[in-house]
Amino acid sequence: MKMSSLILLPLLTTSLVPSCEGFAISSIRMPWSAQAANPEIERYADAQAQNKIRVRLDIGGEADGASRLAIDGIVLELQGRDELEHDYDKIKAAAQRRAVPLPGADGPNPESSSGPRSLKIVSDGSFVGPAGEQIVDLGGGRGDGGGAPRWEMIWRENSPAGALICAFDVPREVRRNEASLQKGRTYITFPVWTSSGLEKGRTYKARVEEKAAEYRKEREDAIEMVKTASNPLLKAIHYRKAYAAAEKYFESGINRMDEIPDDRDIVAIGDGLLLCKRGTVWTKNLGFGGGERVLLGTAEAKLANPEP
């Protein structure tokens, strides 16, 4: 899956309503238009308490030969509101009082959020640099470690998928050659589906793929006619047909269909939800009402819960 597709993953289904209209999505945007939250969002979030997730980050550009920063061994424990309130009761350091802002709960549409939950960093992870293995500090209010990490779910009403977002305040830059995880706010986002929502998405994907195959064949047939036609006028007509078929192919949305995950790309979590194993790492230094979100790389997740 390309990083350009992963940029869109958190919002994949903001337009996947029952009518299955086109995917009107671009760049890293949260679902902020004024819409109510999924009425089950509180239950969904509550069911994730005590889930541990092992995360691997791959940071760097898409260009061939670009430097990479691979941080492995991060383990996060999703906690609940109770833990968050308990943490605040024990606050001593000024840094601990600063909670990392969340794009939903602290953004223009807090009604789309489950509300902030406590996030425990069980293991910060490490990477291999020129000096060997180096431990990463993801912050968490420990020492000079910045603000307290948090997580939330964002989920629109009538949307078959939402997003799980973890927020950190990285106290110092982590660098390997030209690739770096910069100091400051860092967010990791993974799409979350319901089983029925994923089934709906896959049905839509199958229809799009079928139409795209038709348009591709139309284009190929028209190109063949361009090659074989001896009359310049006929060549021009077939060329226009090939161009029109190519336009329909790209407008079909086929380039975004790999946003809908296969079984190998998901893992079951609490309350029957399905977490996409692939997500994004990004940063945002200004308020969530404006400014650009900068994509840093991709994230991979798997459950790290002990065997029952």
Instruction: Give me the phi and psi of 187, to 5 degrees please.
Output: -125, 140
Domain boundaries, the chain: 3-198+262-303
DSSP assignment of 35-56, as one string? -PBPTTHHHHHHTTTT-EEEEE
CA separation for the pair 118, 5 (Å, rounded): 29
Instruction: Give me the phi and psi of 175, to 5 degrees please.
Output: -135, 140
pLDDT of residue 148: 86
pLDDT of residue 262: 92
CA angle 103, 73, 154 (to 5 degrees): 20
pLDDT of residue 286: 61
308 within 8 A of 35, measured Cβ to Cβ: no
pLDDT of residue 194: 93
CA separation for the pair 243, 231 (Å, rounded): 18
Per-residue pLDDT tens, the chain, 308 aa: give them: 444 444 343 333 333 332 222 222 223 334 434 567 898 999 999 999 989 999 999 998 776 677 899 999 999 999 988 666 665 555 444 444 568 889 999 888 899 999 999 999 999 999 998 889 999 999 875 545 567 899 999 998 888 899 999 999 999 999 998 899 989 899 999 999 999 999 999 999 999 999 999 999 999 999 999 999 999 999 999 999 999 999 999 999 999 898 899 999 999 998 889 999 999 999 986 666 556 788 999 999 999 877 55
Instruction: Give the position of tokens 């348009």.
Output: 215
Query: Quick count: other Cβ atoms within 10 Å of Cβ 116?
Result: 22
